[in-house]
Amino acid sequence: MNAFDTQTTNAGEEKEHSASPSAYHRPSATNFIDRLTELKVENSRLHRLVAELLIKNEQLRKSN
- How do the domains of the chain map onto residue ranges? 27-64
44-62 burial, b at 16+ Cβ within 10 Å, e below that, comes to eeeeeeeeeeeeeeeeeee
What are the tens digits of pLDDT across the range 19-62? 555 557 777 989 999 999 999 999 999 999 999 999 999 999 99
Would you place residue 18 in the very low, low, confident or very high pLDDT band (cuts 50, 70, 90)? low
| Sign of the alpha-carbon dihedral angle for 39, 41, 47, 50 | negative
Contact 8, 42 (CB under 8 A): yes
pLDDT at 16 over 80: no
